[in-house]
Amino acid sequence: MKSGSVGVPLLLGLLAGLVVLSATEAAFAQGDYPNRAIRMVVDTSPGGLTDILGPARGRGPRARAGRQVVVENKAGASGNVAIEFVVKSPPDGYTLMICAGGNLVIKPFLDHSLVFDPLVDLVPVFNVAEAPHILVVPAALPVKDLAGFIDYAKANPGRFYYGSAGTGSPPHLAADQFARLAGLQLVHVPYKGVGPALPDLIAGRLQIMSMSYGSASRISRAAR
């Protein structure tokens, strides 16, 4: 992200990472667990905070268990692709998933056609991290603060686009709630994760995004 991009705090204490596994009474039942490689599924594409945390958390189990931890990104449908994969995996404790906890909680209320129930078919293992979300705009946008952005967006109704990690994802709902509270007409553009949306944000094809502070900070440093 270009130096000079504007970040405005929006939500604090948003649960960013949660490790879960397929529900089963047999998981970890083997006395010699783990005796082979563990798969850690990331529910989004590379570039977002969950993706950043995936490899980091993979190193922990690898060091403690002495077994290889293979991290795989399975993006799509706001995490549904990854969740369905984990739910259908053998319930033996060797397939874990790292995801946004809030995303799991709200799914049953947003999508009634799910072939799984994340609150029943998945078992939480441990919280990984919590992170604040901020609003980020491209550096070329002629605004300096939140009030300036709201005034500028109101003067251009329907011409401001915001990206997200997919319909129903925390970045989508956070930006949508912001637009409602501010009385703005923003157009939602869903992506398979925050990472794929960032080039469009930097190029100015998107005018605003809600993302974790860690993702924004990492991209900003990389672009300098």
Task: Identify the CATH number of the domain in which residue 170 sits.
Answer: 3.40.190.10
In terms of domains, do 89 and 118 share one?
yes
Q: Residue 211's closest CA among 11, 3, 4, 64?
A: 11
**Which residues make Cβ contacts (< 8 Å) with residue 156, sequence separation at least 6?**
none
Low-confidence ranges of the chain (pLDDT < 50): 1-16, 26, 63
Which of 131, 153, 169 finishes a domain? 131
112-164 confidence digits (pLDDT tens): 888 888 888 988 888 877 777 888 999 889 998 899 999 999 999 999 999 99
Which of 82, 104, 131 finishes a domain? 131
Q: Is 1 inside a domain boundary?
A: no
Which of 85, 108, 131 finishes a domain? 131
What does the alpha-carbon distance between residue 121 and residue 17 come to, in Å, rounded to a whole number? 18
So what's the pLDDT on residue 147? 92
So what's the pLDDT on residue 8? 38
What does the alpha-carbon distance between residue 43 and residue 20 come to, in Å, rounded to a whole number? 11
Cβ neighbours around 45 below 10 Å, total: 21
- Helix, strand, coil shares, percent, the chain, to 5: 40, 30, 35
Q: Is 47 inside a domain boundary?
A: yes
Give this prediction's pTM: 0.68
Q: Which residue blocks in 32-169 are alpha helix, DSSP H?
A: 49-65, 80-88, 101-110, 118-121, 146-154
Query: What is the extent of the structural domain holding 170?
Result: 6-12+132-223
Q: Is 114 inside a domain boundary?
A: yes
